[in-house]
Every structure is written in structure tokens, then in C-alpha cells.
Amino acid sequence: MTEQIKFYRDKHLSFIESLDTKTEDYEYWLSEHLRINGVYWGLTALCCLKASDKFKKKDVIEFVLSCWDKENGSFAPFKGHDAHLLSTLSAVQILAIYDSISVLSPEMVDSIVKFVTSNQLEDGSFQGDEFGEVDTRFTYNALSTLSILGKLTPQVVDPAVSYIKNCYNFDGGFGLCPGAESHSAQAFTCVGALAIVGKLEETLTKQQLDDLGWWLCERQVDNGGLNGRPSKLPDVCYSWWVLSTLAIIGKLDWINFPKLHSFILKSQDPQKGGISDRPGNEVDVYHTCFGIAGLSLMGVEDLEPIDPVYCMPFYITKKFLKYK
Amino acid sequence: MDLLKLKDSICFQFYESLYLKGYYDKCKLTISKDRCEFKEPILFIPTTQHGKQESCLEIILFKSTLLNMFCTSHDYWKDRTLLENNNNNNNNNSNNAELFYNYIMTLGFLIGSYDEHTFLRLHEDIFFKLLTSDKSYFENSYLLPASLVQKEIYLVELLLSSNQPRINKSSILWKLYQKLYVLQLFYYPNTVKLDYLDTCLSSAEAHFSNYYCWNSLKWFSDNAYVKQSKRFSNICKIKEFCLRNLRDNSAWYCYSYLLIHINGDTTYNCRDFQRLYTKLASKMGTKGQDLANKGIAGIDSNPVQLDLRSEINAVIDLINNLRVPTSPQFNFLYYLLLNGNEEHMVDTKLLAGWESEVCDFENKFMSLELKHCDPPEIHDSYNNDLKFISEFQFMYHLKYFLHKYKAILKLRER
């Protein structure tokens, strides 16, 4: 009989709490450019664990505000870095989780909106910043940011939806741009973006949604884990990218939950807490967040229910204004 | 500016070593764990590529060197006033040394950090400032290649084809490479070399199913400034790669995509190319042209006639002969069906034959019912039979392909 693997809740809490104390580690500075995203991942994991008070709210908000990039008019991942759509969304998500959007002055909100909209291109796509990299990830970042701030407009939404539609593939998935290979992360960013603006059903047909569901459920491999693309290894983060997308399109039951649950639990570190990409590997906050969020989507381990569209607790997202 | 300090830094040592010893026709960058028997921070080892005749230089960078480079860059730029000074730099010659120093001090971020947006932008910004300033200061004759642009392309190509996943799959590094391609094509067409196919295939060899690599290869091939004969040559090389990597879905998708787009008519990639060109022209101080009104450079007088039918038949033969238990080859056929025309459809006799095979397998062994969350499981008695497991998986993929294929045929009959 297989040994029953526990969910090491307390270990994960300790792991997340300790993350900002390792300032002497190379890894801490190597990931400086992901810091604000890391705070979001850590905080979201804590929310799922019903322990959001483990981080000091005041300190976190101060950190977020310290990431303001005055020159570009939005949030950078760390003080002194450049603003980017990735870090802008994480900053706004953190403030929303703490119910503290009001710490942003009207001028700052306007500046964020300007930053976001200035990165939309003629075809409706978004570049992450002036460097010019285009990816449907940034479309999600942009629309989610504006949604949380209550600033979505048809001038932004309509061309973005048109662009997303062009990124739909023959196999049912979505790529980073038209013609790009399907990828689970991009499936989430495209479907999530459509859901945020309330245009999922009018953009994709029932057949297209079915094909997407098939493409996504095929991501489950024999050991129960989910991969991002055909023939790739399973990775815990796809517990989120795949599962959340299936949840959004109403096909969550197309995944074998017990097998996936087992795979995620096996990827925990029983000594120091945290979750790695797959069993036996080094843990990190990114995979810890999405592993726990995946468990929440499956409704196991007594976790706070998480909104698959925003990757934030439902008790937060229900306050967001719906775009019509 | 303290040039002696510059020359003592690990970043400059890397830069100088690379262009003093590392410029070969064929090079490979390997990030390696530290080994106590070597004191040098970077090693250059001539070798012969496995199974090939051409000589190759392996450049080994140890983890501690990589971390030292990162720390050097990080500590340098931690003083943000330097960042502000760089942004306010007015491109006059008296600051050339400082500019070059700043360029060197971004290298630690390129190599040591993953998708570091701020400092890659900084690196690019400084590079273009160097390019539009008095280059004689930087194009030292004792470091080869002399050209600043060629040096930059060489470095980026090394990084993208290295063995380090977080470097060779970096989406912003691939975007930088695309920008360098546009730069080379329009400003240095005869003096600077950039071999995107070799770089992409080397990266693909180093990293299975490398997403940004294969998407970039489609980007390169799609653009109108690639001759059709070059595009055809690309397809042949990619096909060879696919035949060596039957499970690589990214490679097979790229192969099918390029077969359909042999004329390079994908509007998105062309628009993106135009966008990069327009921004580049601004950086270079020249007025950008609307490329849509410009004829295709170097169109072949004798266009290549690709026989799509034979390509499809070859893959069908491969499926029948090798019976690989995975989906890329089936996805290949499915993609061509959806995007090709009637003559490219799979022969009805073959379809009937495949259906018969599936039925025989199901009658003899077990049902292959298509389910969402519970694919059929192999009966315990076969669990140790690897040949059976492989055949079972093959049959499942075949049945799923037939299911989707017939759905498309029905739609087309309407």
C-alpha cells in the first residue's frame, strides 16, 4: 500500500516567511529582478493557506511603493529597476490583496493606466516594456492590471480581444503570438484575459472551447503531473496554468484530481517546506505558490478558494468592478 | 575613469578572453560546475563535435565565474547614480571610455541572471550608443572580430546556444537577437555575419523543445527578406533535426508551419519585423522606410517548387515504420490538413487501413476509449511489456488523430 503523503502546511508557512531573510545568498540577488513577483507569489500562497497575516502588511506595502519607477510611471520589480507590465501587475495584485489600492494617488493610477496603454501596439498586442518583447502574457498583465484598477475601456479591450483570437491554434491551444506553438501558460493568459473582459463565450465557439479542453487535459501524464506542451516533463507550475484554464472554461473535471494531487504532494520538501517543479528538485516560491493554488482549485487540503481568472482569493476578486 | 580597475574586473577578463582566444568558426559555450583542478575562470578547449568532422572550440565558464561576473555587475550598478549618468550621457567622445566601461559592466547580467529586463535594456541602450559614437576606441585590432556589431552578435549567439536553460530559452535574449538580425540586414549586410539557422538549431539541440528558440526560427523564416531558396534550405535542415528528434513537438510544429508558409507570408511576423526596423532606424538616426512598399530583396529567378505531397508521404511512412508512441508526427499531419488544400489530405485507403489497425488492436487486447480525465490504463498483465506499452501508446495517439481528422473531413463535406 502506498504511503499516504501529507500536506506540510506548517512547513510551507515557515518556508515562505523565511524567504526575505536570506539577503546574504547569491540566489536572493540573482532574483532581484523578480522580487515583486516573488512577493506576490509568496503572499498568494499565504492567502491560500489562510495565513496572509504572516507577512507584515505595512512592510510589504512600503516595499511595493519603493518599486515605483518615476521615470516610466509604473512599477518595477525592485527599487532602481525599470517598470514592466509583469511587475506592474504584481504590484497592483499585492495592493488589492491588502485592500490597499487607495495608497495609490489618482496621479499614480493615471500614470499606470498611461504606462499600460502606451505599451499596446497597433494590432492590439502588448509589449512588456519599451524593449519591445511581445507576448500574450503581457496582454493578460495589461488587462488584469486595468481591471483591478477599474480602468478597462473599449479602446483597449476590443483590439486586445481581436489579437487574442488570432493567437488561437489549430490544436486548440494558444501561443505567444499568431502562429506560435501552443503553450499552457499562454492558454491561461489568453483565456484569463478573455474572461476578465467578459468576452470568452463570444470570442470562442463551443467547438473551440472543447478543443482547448482536450488539448489541456492531454497535458496530464502517467505520474499525474501536468506538462506545458506535448512530450515535455511535468512541472508543478502547470497545476495552475492548465487547471485554472480548465476551470475558467468549465471543464475542471477533465483532469484526474487524485493523480495530480499526489504529484503535487510528492513535490513538497518535507524538511524545509516549499514545493519544487517536480519530485526531488529544489523548491522555490514560484512553484510553491502555483502548487498550492492548484490544490486550492481542486478543493483539497482545506485551502482558501482561489479565483482561476485572477489567481487571487475569491474574497478579494469579488470586489472588482465587472467590465461590461 | 579608472581603466586599470576596468581591466582587473572579471567582466573585462571574460570579454577580453572571449575575443582574444574564443573566436572560432564553430564555438560552444558550456556553463560548468567548479572543478578544483582548474584555476582559470574560463577555459578554451579545442574539440571535435561528436560525429562531425569540423573542429569546434568549447568555452567553459565555471559557475563561480558566472556568479562573480554577476556580483561585479550588480555591485557596480547598485550605485544608481551611474545608471542616471548613463541615461544622461550625451554621446560625446570624452565619455567613450566611460561608455565602454558601462557596457562591460552589463555582461554579468546577460550571463548570470534570467530575463533581467532592466539591465538587458541597459545593455542594448549602451550598445547602440557605442555604435553611434566614435567606434575606433572600441574596435581594438587585437580583439577579434574587430567589428563591434560582430562581437555583439557572436556573444548573443554563444549565449543562446549554450547549455544553460535559463539563458538559451530567455525570451528577451531571443528578442535582442532578432533586433541584431534587423541591424545586420539593413546596416551591415556585407560586413557582418549572422547565422540564425545554425544558432537556432544549436539551441534546439541543447534544450529539448525550446519554445522561444523555435518561435524565433519561424519569425526569421517568415520575413520577406529571406530568400525563398534560403527558406527551403531552412526547411531541409529542420527536417533533418526532426528526424533525429521524433518527440520534439516544437521542432515538428515549426517544420509543418514552414511547409505551409514557404512563401513567408505570415503577416504577424512581418509586422513585428517592421516594428523592430522602425525602432532601429530611430536609434541609428536614419529615417525608417515602410517595408510594405519595398520589393522582396533577392527574389529567386528560379523559385523552388516544394513538393508538399512527398513531404507528407515521407512522414506517413515514418509513422507506419517506426510507430513512435507520441504525438508530434500526428500533429504535423493534422496541421497540414487544416492549412493545406484537398490534394494534401491523407489517402482514404490509408485512413481505412489505420482504422482497421486500431480495431484489430482493440479486439485483441483492450479498448482505447477516448476519455477526458481517465485515459485507458494498461492491464496489469502487460505492465512489464515495454513493447506492448509502446504499441499501446502509439495506438492511442493514432485513434485520437483519426477521431480529429474525421471531424475535419465531416466539416469540409458540408
B281 and A CB contact within 8 Å: no
User: Looking at the 3D structure of chain B, how many domains does it have?
Assistant: 2
**Is residue B260 included in any domain, yes or no?**
yes
Instruction: Give the confidence band of A87 by pLDDT, cuts at 50, 70, 90.
Output: very high
**pLDDT given for residue B294 in this prediction:** 45
Q: Which three cell numbers stand for residue A98?
A: 491588502
- For residues B162 and B70, membership in a common domain is answered with yes
**Alpha-helical regions (H) of B9-116:** 10-21, 63-78, 80-87, 96-104, 107-112
Residue A243 covered by a domain = yes
B-chain residues within 8 Å CB-CB of A213? Answer: 372
* CA dihedral over B379, B382, B384, B386, signed as positive or negative: negative
Domain boundary among B260, B293, B326: B293
Which residues 51-70 of B have a C-beta within 8 angstroms of A? 67, 70
Answer yes or no: do B270 and B339 share one domain: no
Residue B404 lies in a domain: yes
Could you say which residues from 248 to 267 on chain A have a Cβ atom under 8 Å away from some Cβ of chain B? 251, 253-256
Beta carbons of A175 and B215 less than 8 Å apart? yes
Q: Which residues of B touch A231 (CB under 8 A)?
A: 208-209, 247-249, 326-328
Nearest Cα residue in chain A from B69 = A30
**B1, pLDDT greater than 60:** no
Q: Report yes or no on B208 lying in a domain.
A: yes
Is residue B127 one of the residues assigned to a domain? yes
**Shortest Cα distance, chain B CAs vs residue A195, angstroms:** 23
Do B288 and B366 reside in the same domain of the chain?
A: no
Per mean pLDDT, which of A19-23, A159-163, B100-104 is the most reliable? A159-163
Lowest mean pLDDT among A54-63, A247-256, B115-124: B115-124
Q: What is the mean pLDDT of residues A230-248?
A: 96
User: Would the CB atoms of A253 and B373 count as touching at under 8 Å?
Assistant: yes
One domain, residues B121 and B241:
yes
d(CA A232, CA A230) in angstroms, rounded, equals: 6
Are A273 and B391 contacting, i.e. CB atoms less than 8 angstroms apart?
A: no
On whether residue B306 sits in a domain, the answer given is no
Same domain, B351 and B260: no
Contact B175 A131 (CB under 8 A): yes
- Indicate if B217 and B141 belong to the same structural domain: yes
Which residue, among B75, B373, B332, B92, has the nearest Cα to A259 in the 3D structure?
B373
- The answer to the question of residue B307 being in a domain is no
B325, B397 contact by CB (below 8 A): yes
* Pair B201, B318 in one domain: no
Interfacial A residues in 178-237 facing B (CB < 8 Å)? 178-181, 183, 213-214, 217, 220, 229-232
Closest to B211 (Cβ–Cβ): which among A179, A183, A253? A183
Domain encompassing residue B374:
312-413
State the smallest CA–CA distance between residue A33 and chain B in angstroms: 6
User: Domain range for residue A127?
Assistant: 9-320
Nearest one of B387, B360, B362 to B376, comparing CA atoms: B362
Nearest CA in chain B to A34: B116
- C-alpha distances out from residue A170 to A181, A208, A240, B405, B410, Å: 10, 9, 23, 12, 16
The dihedrals phi and psi of B170, each to the nearest 5 degrees, come to -65, 120
Which pLDDT score is estimated for B326? 84
Q: Of chain B residues 354-413, which have a CB less than 8 A from chain A?
A: 372-374
Q: Which of B34, B36, B37 is nearest to B61 (CA)?
A: B34
Same domain, B53 and B147: yes
CB contact under 8 A, A230 and B373: no
Counting the structural domains of chain A, the total is 1
**C-alpha distance from B292 to closest chain A C-alpha (Å):** 16
Q: What's the Rg (C-alpha) of chain A?
A: 19
Q: Is there a contact between A179 and B269 if contact means CB atoms under 8 Å apart? A: yes
Q: Which of A32, A214, A230 sits opposite B249 (nearest CB)?
A: A230
CB contact under 8 A, B117 and A33: yes
Distance CA A64, CA A112 (A): 14
- pLDDT tens-digit profile of A139-171? 999 999 999 999 999 999 999 999 998 999 999
Going by their DSSP bridges, the two strands A68-69 and A306-307 should be labelled as unpaired
Question: Cβ contact (<8 Å) for A254 and B334?
Answer: no
How many Å apart are CA A201 and CA B324, to the nearest integer?
37
pLDDT for B270 beyond 50: yes
Q: Do A131 and B121 touch (CB under 8 A)?
A: yes
- Distance from B333 to chain A by nearest Cα, in Å? 11
d(CA A268, CA B78): 35
For residue A269, is it within any domain? yes
CA–CA separation, A242 and A228 (whole Å): 8
Q: Mutation test of the interface with chain A: which of B250, B253, B257, choosing the one with the most A Cβ atoms within 10 A?
A: B253
Alpha-helical runs (H) found in B188-287: 196-206, 211-222, 228-244, 249-260, 267-284
Longest dimension (CA), chain B: 83
B271/A244: higher pLDDT: A244
Is residue B256 domain-shared with residue B367, that is, in the same domain? no
B286 and B342 in a single domain? The answer is no
Residue type for B60, please? I
pLDDT for B290-328, tens place per residue? Answer: 555 444 444 455 566 678 878 898 999 999 999 888 889
pLDDT of res. B121: 84
Closest CA to A70 of B41, B87, B325: B87
Contact by Cβ (8 Å): A197, A323:
yes
CB B136 within 8 A of CB B143: no
Q: Do A178 and B266 make contact, defined as CB atoms within 8 angstroms?
A: yes
In a domain, A308, yes or no: yes
CB contact under 8 A, B172 and A133: yes
Residues of A within 8 A of B83 (CB-CB) are 80
Question: Taking CB atoms and an 8 Å limit, are B268 and A30 in contact across chains?
Answer: no
Q: Nearest Cα to B255, choosing from B310, B331, B180?
A: B331
Calculate ∠ Cα A137-A141-A143, nearest 5°: 115
Q: Do B284 and B180 share a structural domain?
A: yes
Interface of B with A in 126-155 (CB under 8 A): none
Give the CATH number, domain containing residue A217. Answer: 1.50.10.20
Give how far Cα A69 sits from Cα of A83, B124, B125, B270, B283, Å.
6, 19, 18, 33, 23
Residue A85 pLDDT greater than 70, yes or no: yes
- pLDDT for the residue B37: 79
CB contact under 8 A, B179 and A183: no
The DSSP secondary-structure symbol of A152 reads -
Residues facing residue B47 across a β-bridge: B56
For residue A175, which of A134, A219, A213 has the smallest C-alpha distance?
A134
Do B328 and A231 make contact, defined as CB atoms within 8 angstroms?
yes
- B359 phi and psi angles, rounded to 5 deg: -60, -45
The 10s digit of each residue's pLDDT in B332-361 is 998 987 887 766 777 787 889 998 999 999
* A101 occurs within a structural domain: yes
At residue A300 the predicted structure's pLDDT band, cuts being 50, 70 and 90, is very high
Q: Are residues B286 and B333 in the same domain?
A: no
In a domain, A199, yes or no: yes
Q: What is the pLDDT of residues B159-179, one digit of tens each?
A: 999 998 979 999 989 999 999
Closest residue, chain B, to A177 (C-alpha): B268
- For A171, A231, B379, B392, the CA distances from B376, given in Å and listed in that order, are 22, 18, 9, 10
Cα–Cα distance, A188 to A241 (Å, whole number): 5
Q: Is residue B301 part of a domain?
A: no
Q: Which of A35-49, A99-113, B65-79 is predicted least confidently?
A: B65-79
158-197 in chain B: CB under 8 A from chain A: 171-172, 175, 179
Query: B47 falls in which pLDDT band (50, 70, 90)?
Result: confident
User: Minimal Cα–Cα distance from B118 to chain A, Å?
Assistant: 5
